[in-house]
Structure 1
Amino acid sequence: MNRAPPLWLRLGSLALGLVFLVLALPWPLDLLRPHLLALALVYWSLEAPGRGAMALAWGAGLLADVLGGTLLGEQALRMAVLVFLVQRFRAQLRFFPLWQQSAAVGLLLLNDLALMALVRLVAGAGLPSPLLLLSPLVAMLTWPWWFLLLDALRLRHRERTLPR
């Protein structure tokens, strides 16, 4: 019995996160954009950890750098750190109720913003807008719906592949 999530679902959720990252939004809504790529990486790190999670995070981050036009390696570093932290605290995070997971995801994404500010400050690119602090709040509100959607798709696939 294969308990691994389907590759199309894992890559599809990451592709959706990348598309949402480059989707053109008006200025005020752009600051409220949840980081769906990071949310997808958090979900897969919680539900289907594996040896390739860090490499997947790094590769998705590099793609995000190229698509978003950011400093090459910035998002790759941020996504790798995010996945490392999720894997480090996976045992605790998995058994939190969904509202506590949302709070933890918000804190992880605040850490991600701090890392982004540090990298940009060191690179001389200047600090991001303070209004960007609203993004982790929106991601906290998005997390339960994102989690439930991916979980339903993953479990539906697992039910189809079970022998009868």
Structure 2
Amino acid sequence: MTAPSRALVTRAAADLLETLQQRHGPIMFHQSGGCCDGSSPMCYPLGDFLVGDRDVLLGLLDVADGVPVWISGPQFDTWKHTQLVIDLVPGRGGGFSLEAPEGFRFLSRGRAFTDDENAQLDSVAALTGAQYAAGATPPGPRGEVVAEAADACPMPKGRAAQIPG
């Protein structure tokens, strides 16, 4: 059984990524644990953001030639049991992120892996920036495109459903 991808992308986000790639060439994401803009997935032209030796490659999104999704090492330690789903919502993006002028922003959503998925992922070593720079290739399948974020991380029933609108 193949381990699940650590990163997925919604159809809306993938469509904008394809447009951004046509304008800027190859692109990448970096998800840090910072505050403000740093807590959003930031989209850059490939190579404009220097990946650190301890950053972790979550995977390649299945968009065009593949869009790498990086996360800071300390943030990966916190999120390693969570599948990252990159979505697109109306609003102003981060100041340095490529979608900023488009009237949309990328948003990270998460889904906790099941016990079986965590067991599969335990057998797949996370690829660090240092290993990638030395020529290592990303393991596992490409992060697929899902129609909607709810397809990958459904809204919980219960308390959230009881909040009046």
TM-score between both structures, scaled by the size of structure 1: 0.27
Q: Which is richer in strand?
A: 2
TM-score between both structures, scaled by the size of structure 2: 0.27
Q: Which is richer in helix?
A: 1
